[in-house]
Structure formats: C-alpha cells, structure tokens
Amino acid sequence: MTGLRVVELAGIGPCPFAAMTLADLGAEVIRVDRPGGGEFFPGHERTDVLNRGKKSVVLDLKRPEAVEAALALVAGADVLMEGYRPGVAERLGLGPDTCLERNPRLVYGRMTGWGQTGPLAQTAGHDIGYVAVTGALHAMGEAGGAPQIPLNLVGDFAGGGAYLVIGVLAALREAERDGRGQVVDAAIVDGVAHLLSGTHTMMATGTWQDERGVNLLDGGAPFYAVYETADGRHLAVGALEGRFYRELLRLLDLDEDPARQHDRSGWPALRGRLAERFRSRTQAEWTEIFADSDACVAPVVGLEEAAAHPHLRARGTLVEREGVLQAAPAPRFSRSAATLGGPPPAPGRDTREVLTSWGVADAAALIDSGAAVQS
C-alpha cells in the first residue's frame, strides 16, 4: 500500500489499531494529536504499539487556523479515520460533508461502538457493552456460571478495528473505479454480530444451544476444553474431528470408545477421566507427548512466554523493539512484504515536516502561534 496517505484523528483503541494496520501494510499515516499529548497512556506514548509506523502532528482543533490546516491535510489524503462519538467531527469542522467537499475521492472511515445511527448512537459505551448486546458475551463462560469477558479482542479490535480496515479497503477500491469517495460507518456491534455468523448457522441447524458451556466450541464438549496439569498449568484440547479424537485417546492411553465421542450423556464422566489423566503429568511433559501429533493439544502460555514458543519464534510472529514486545505485521504476502514501521512517535514530533511536505500553507506561522505544536 505504498503511496496511500491516511490522516487519523487521534483517539483510543480500535481506530488507532486500524490505522496501525494500514501503516504496517505500507501506508503513510499522519496522526493528528491534541495539544498535551496522549490521553490513554500519558507519559508512555513512545511505547504505544498502536501508533507504530505513524507520524504525529499536533493541532489545536479549537482554533480555526488549525482546523484549516487539518483540512489541507485531508485534501491530500486518500483516507481519513476518526473514532469520535457521532457529531463530534462535525462540530470540529471536520465532518464528512466538509472533508468530501475538499476531497471528493476521500474515504472517510468512522469508528464507533454503536454506529452513526440508532437509539444508542449518542450513548457512551465500551467493548463489554457492545459484545453484550450482540449475544457474544452471553455465549462465553462455563455452564451455570457467569459470562466471561473475552478481553477487548472480540469487540474493539476484531469487530471494530478490523472491520474498519475491511471497509476502508473496499471503499478505496470503489474510489479507484469511479473517482468518488464515501463514508464507512464501522460499528463494533455490527462487526461482532457479523463475527457470530458461524454461531448463528449452528443455531439454525440445531447444533448450538443458546446457553453457555454446553456446546461443541464453548467448553461444553470434554474434547474441546482446557485442563489443568500436575504443575498447575493448563492445556488446550481441541480434538473435534473423529481422527483427532482417536489420536487424543491413544496418546492419553485411555480406553474409551471413539464411536461415543458425541454421546452427550457420557460427557460428564469423560470430562472427569480426561481431567484426572491430564493432572498426572506436567504441562511440559504433556507438550512433549503431543508434539507433532494431530491430537490438537497445545500448552496455554502467557503473553510474554508466547514469544518463545517454537512455532511463533520460527515465524517471527512476535518481535521486540526497543524493549517492547509486539506482534509483527499480519497478514503476510508472497511478494509485497509488510514491514514493522518506526517506533511510536512522541506527539508533535513530525508537525513541521508533515505540514511542510504536505503543502500546508504558513506551517511556520501555525507553529509560532501555537495552533500547531512541534515537540
């Protein structure tokens, strides 16, 4: 995506993640920060991985001349991304109508939890609420227990940021064909609901019950569950298919009838026998036993420990830069390699350079007046 120009109005969470993804893919991303630096990790902006590969411009958008400078950036951009509550960008003078008037080819990406329309559009919210109303949170947890929070991966980053990237790329393709930009309304609730398509399919076919911990993929099945080992660690077991289940039983040396794998009446007893067997050895011992097998058993490791996992290490999935552990760019390509951009910039590090190179008039005067800030 070399040559793609993106302006990101600074925010937190899914919108920065989407812009980071485009930067990983080669886009030039200009983050427009507020005076005073970041609001989510104050004093630690240089370790905010979501801002890697970007340049930072500080503009005081309360001042008309700073808004005009932002619009000058928009005029030279292919994409604008913002994650404000609906109407905020309009009040700043940077709404879609204004920006598209300046740049008819612009793809204007809007990232919110509830979306631009609907009765909750103006309501505050966070990941946990978005996954709650879609049914995703209800589906996660042990049978008879409370729902379990899936970090903010399902909502903010999968249902939100990833779908904003998908929408922006699709709109860019359309703009290439007819020369017209458009607005991308990426709502986390929409994305999470879309991610549940497979679960909705299983419900429609009668193979999924609308309750926690009783289904094939939610821990209800004893052959798709997490078990504790002798050293207090855990293993993830995912032996869904018959041939994988038979391999699991063989390596565990369990005398079970593979033909009864899906006999739910026998699941409680089977779970007990599996749990007892897994508690007989340490995680490392079981990992060695299951190495190179198709039993679909993997050790549950910590976030830092994951960097040392042989497979992830061989692929370079996790890297360390300036003491910060982070994921390498994804996905991968056969000839157009994604690259890990520069470290996250301090707010305002690139103000003068960006304003000048993007052709913003009177860059020096903007900085001298305080409407723009060079750190």
pLDDT digits (tens), the chain, 375 positions: 889 999 999 999 999 999 999 999 999 999 999 998 656 677 778 889 999 999 999 999 999 999 999 999 999 999 999 999 999 999 999 999 999 999 999 999 999 999 999 999 999 999 999 999 999 999 999 999 999 999 999 999 999 999 999 999 999 999 999 999 999 999 999 999 999 999 999 999 999 999 999 999 999 999 999 999 999 999 999 999 999 999 999 999 999 999 999 999 999 999 999 999 999 999 999 999 999 999 999 999 999 999 999 999 999 999 999 899 999 999 999 998 888 889 999 999 999 999 999 999 899 999 999 999 998
Residues in the chain, overall count: 375
Contacts of 160 (CB under 8 A, 6+ apart): 13, 14, 17, 18, 111, 113, 130, 186, 188, 191
Q: Which two tokens stand for residue 256?
A: 């079970």
Q: What predicted TM-score, i.e. pTM, was given to this entire model?
A: 0.95
| CA atoms of 27 and 37, how far apart (whole Å) | 23
Q: Which of 44, 126, 200, 262 is catalytic?
A: 126
For residue 37, the model assigns a pLDDT of 62
Tell me if residue 44 falls in helix, strand or coil.
coil
What sign for the dihedral angle of Cα 127, 132, 135, 141? Answer: positive
**Residue 126 designated active-site:** yes
Q: Is there a catalytic annotation at residue 234?
A: no
pLDDT for residue 339: 84
Sign for the CA dihedral angle at 328, 330, 332, 338 comes to negative
- One of 127, 156, 185, 218 is an active-site residue; which one? 156
**What is the per-residue pLDDT for 40?**
67
Q: In terms of C-beta density within 10 A (0-12 exposed, 13-18 middle, 19 or more buried), how is residue 77 classed?
A: buried
With beta carbons less than 8 A apart as the criterion, state whether 156 and 188 touch.
yes
Q: For residue 42, what pLDDT is reported? A: 76
